[in-house]
């Protein structure tokens, strides 16, 4: 896994992680996203900011929500979007990742949105592209999913306001979750009062406390007084051994039910990055209940992704294209 | 020196010629909204005024990037077939007005658009002229004029040092 984040210009040209974003930078992105919300509410849901730009959605892992909301975000900014999914791509014929990217680049792509099962893949691409090309990480292995992290911050801010007064509980399979990692960095940068991770020890990363969170293995304790509950999906596809005894037992101990939700703050919101396993990490009546903001998360994802795409395209301001 | 109140008086007087078309006032953020609010009050319009933020329509986006504090465009009434008075503080190159018209047409097809500005200066880069004017001035290319406000409204002329 690539650890150190490249600094300076690299950071402005690409959007790879929330780790290097300070509270101010995040707030700026959320403010920009706020102004894009109105575009989705009008008759003609389009602004000409990225007219003439080509965006390639390069997905080596399946995704519906993320890919579709990136596609809508790009289209609302008037860019041309091409979707490439791994099942139909040349990588299956043995072409290397960077060769695939170079070919797409030769077609004058301006921006890549990359999802890949290997941690660090988006970073690798970002290091290889010429300076006028931008890369957005749409999820790399267990490492990061920064646009999801920010759309979650956007959703929390819209419902709950100032992070400095909030107790946020992230519940479930934290170990395999790139979303949780991106959320934790963003929540910390925004000065959240308390960030908790809740789950069985086997699904919490070793020394998770070093990220500035409090770990709870008892669900009731972890939820008590929380203002925001973020449920994570159990990622069986990333589990190499038996990390939970059984689905039934997991739900009994860590599933979010109405009774458990009642332990949290009175107006606590329930979030889930999707896709949900109903009856496994979350009860159906909670997922569809009045405290759930799971579908608004999806809607907000469009505005947040518009903000990130627009800011990157604007970041090449004043720099000529290399011939 | 320019007196804002006198200029607003001139605007109000020439805007009266448009009144029988029942126009809708739309101010361009930020200064244009302040002027539109003043005109709205002086003309005694009942319908709410609209506001427009043209940041997403600027032609220099690829050079200057996006401003994080974009205001929201707010057009509270249907504009299809309506006569519009577009209000801004300063008419200079005309590019802001072009962007504003592009944005308006993404909301509706108005019957007509008239342009009202507090200050018209030289330096036009597009074939755009105002219909309602507060005051006309001539400035050197490096000089920059800015409306300060909202309360009280004032004018500042700055020398650009680049």
Kindly state whether A52 is in contact with chain B, defined as any CB-CB distance less than 8 angstroms.
Answer: no
Among A41, A311, A314, A319, the strongest candidate for a mutation testing the B interface, having the largest count of B CBs within 10 A, is A314
Asked whether residue B50 is assigned to any structural domain, the reply reads yes
Asked whether residue B17 is assigned to any structural domain, the reply reads yes
The domain in which residue B29 lies consists of: 4-60+71-159
Rg for chain B (alpha carbons), in Å? 15
Could you list the beta-strand ranges (E) of A204-308.
Answer: 214-216, 228-231, 269-271
Q: How far apart are CA A240 and CA A224, in angstroms?
A: 32
A309 contacts on B by Cβ (under 8 Å): none
Q: To the nearest 10°, the Cα dihedral for A47, A317, B64, B67?
A: 60
Q: Under CATH, what is the fold of the domain A146-295?
A: Rossmann fold (3.40.50)
Residue among A32, A39, A46 minimizing CB distance to B66:
A32
Q: Do B73 and A38 touch (CB under 8 A)?
A: yes
Residue among A35, A46, A313 minimizing CB distance to B72:
A35
Q: How far apart are CA A278 and CA B59, in angstroms?
A: 48
Q: Do A317 and B108 touch (CB under 8 A)?
A: no
Q: What is the number of alpha carbons within 13 Å of residue A184 lying toward its C-beta?
A: 25
Report, at the CATH architecture level, how domain A8-141+299-315 is classified: 3-Layer(aba) Sandwich (3.40)
Q: What is the pLDDT of residue B100?
A: 96
Give the residue on B whose Cα is nearest the Cα of A314.
B65
Asked whether residue B84 is assigned to any structural domain, the reply reads yes
Domain count, chain B: 1
Assign residue B135 the CATH number of its domain: 3.40.50.2020
Residues contacting residue A149 through CB under 8 Å, at least 6 positions apart: A18, A179, A181, A182, A183, A185, A186
Q: Which residues pair with B81 in a beta bridge?
A: none
Residue spans of chain B under pLDDT 50:
none
The Cα of B84 is separated from the nearest Cα of chain A by a number of Å equal to: 18
Q: By C-alpha distance, which of B141, B117, B145 is closest to B129?
A: B117
Q: How far apart are CA A200 and CA A188, in angstroms?
A: 22
Q: Regarding beta strands A214-216 and A269-271, do their DSSP bridges make them parallel or antiparallel, or are they unpaired? A: unpaired
Asked whether residue B66 is assigned to any structural domain, the reply reads no
Q: Please report the ipTM that was assigned to this predicted complex.
A: 0.77
Asked whether residue B65 is assigned to any structural domain, the reply reads no
Tell me whether domains A8-141+299-315 and A146-295 share a fold. Answer: yes
Q: What is the pLDDT of residue A78?
A: 95
H/E element, B26: strand B24-28
| pLDDT in 10s for each residue of chain A, 323 residues | 333 344 454 567 999 999 999 999 999 999 999 989 988 888 788 999 999 999 999 999 989 999 999 999 999 999 999 999 875 455 666 678 899 899 999 999 999 999 999 999 999 999 999 999 999 999 999 999 999 999 999 999 999 999 999 999 999 999 999 999 999 999 999 999 999 999 999 999 999 999 999 999 999 999 999 999 999 999 887 776 777 778 889 999 999 999 999 999 999 999 999 999 999 999 999 999 999 999 999 999 999 999 999 999 876 554 433 32
Burial per residue of B24-63, b for 16 or more beta-carbon CB atoms within 10 angstroms, e otherwise: bbbbbbebbbbbbbbbbeebebeeebbbbbbbbbbeebbe
Q: Do B102 and A44 touch (CB under 8 A)?
A: no
Kindly state whether B71 is in contact with chain A, defined as any CB-CB distance less than 8 angstroms.
Answer: yes
Q: How far apart are CA B88 and CA B117, in angstroms?
A: 5
Residue among A31, A42, A318 minimizing CB distance to B107:
A42
Q: Do B56 and A48 touch (CB under 8 A)?
A: yes
């Amino acid at each position: 896994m690539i650890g150190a984040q490249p600094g300076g210009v690299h950071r402005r040209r690409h959007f790879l992680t929330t780790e290097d974003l300070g509270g101010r930078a995040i707030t700026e992105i959320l403010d920009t996203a706020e102004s894009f919300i109105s575009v989705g509410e009008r008759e003609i849901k389009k602004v000409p900011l990225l007219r003439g730009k080509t965006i390639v959605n390069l997905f080596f892992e399946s995704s519906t929500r993320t890919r579709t909301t990136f596609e809508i975000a790009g289209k609302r900014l008037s860019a041309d979007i091409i979707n490439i999914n791994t099942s139909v791509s040349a990588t299956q014929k043995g072409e290397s990742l960077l060769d695939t990217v170079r070919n797409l680049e030769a077609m004058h792509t301006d921006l890549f949105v990359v999802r890949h099962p290997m941690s660090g893949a988006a970073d690798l691409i970002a290091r290889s592209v010429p300076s006028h090309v931008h890369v957005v990480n749409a999820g790399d292995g267990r490492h990061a999913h920064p646009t999801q992290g920010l759309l979650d911050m956007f959703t929390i801010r819209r419902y709950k306001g100032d992070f400095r007064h909030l107790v946020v509980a992230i519940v479930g399979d934290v170990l395999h979750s790139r979303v949780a990692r991106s959320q934790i960095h963003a929540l910390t940068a925004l000065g959240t009062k308390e960030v908790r991770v809740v789950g069985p020890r086997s699904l919490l990363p070793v020394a998770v406390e070093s990220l500035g969170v409090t770990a709870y293995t008892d669900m009731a304790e972890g939820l008590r007084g929380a203002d925001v509950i973020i449920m994570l999906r159990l990622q069986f596809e990333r589990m190499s051994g038996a990390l939970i005894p059984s689905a039934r037992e997991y739900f009994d101990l860590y599933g979010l039910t109405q009774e458990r939700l009642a332990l949290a703050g009175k107006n606590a919101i329930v979030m889930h990055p999707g896709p949900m396993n109903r009856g496994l990490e979350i009860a159906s009546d909670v997922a569809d209940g009045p405290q759930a903001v799971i579908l608004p998360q999806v809607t907000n994802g469009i505005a947040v992704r518009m903000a990130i795409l627009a800011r990157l395209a604007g970041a090449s301001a004043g720099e000529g294209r290399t011939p | 020196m320019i007196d804002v109140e006198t200029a607003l008086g001139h605007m109000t007087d020439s805007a009266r010629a448009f009144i029988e078309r029942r126009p809708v006032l739309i101010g361009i953020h930020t200064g244009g909204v302040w002027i539109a609010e003043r005109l709205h009050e002086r003309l005694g319009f009942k319908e709410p005024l609209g506001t427009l933020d043209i940041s997403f329509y600027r032609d220099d986006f690829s050079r200057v990037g996006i401003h994080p504090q974009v205001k929201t465009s707010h057009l509270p009434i249907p504009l299809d077939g309506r006569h519009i008075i577009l209000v801004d503080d300063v008419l200079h190159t005309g590019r802001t007005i072009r962007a504003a018209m592009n944005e308006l047409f993404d909301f509706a097809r108005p019957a007509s658009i008239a342009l009202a500005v507090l200050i018209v200066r030289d330096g036009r880069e597009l074939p755009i002229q105002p219909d309602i004017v507060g005051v006309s001035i001539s400035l050197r290319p490096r000089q920059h004029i800015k409306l300060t406000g909202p309360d009280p409204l004032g004018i500042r002329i700055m020398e650009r040092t680049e």
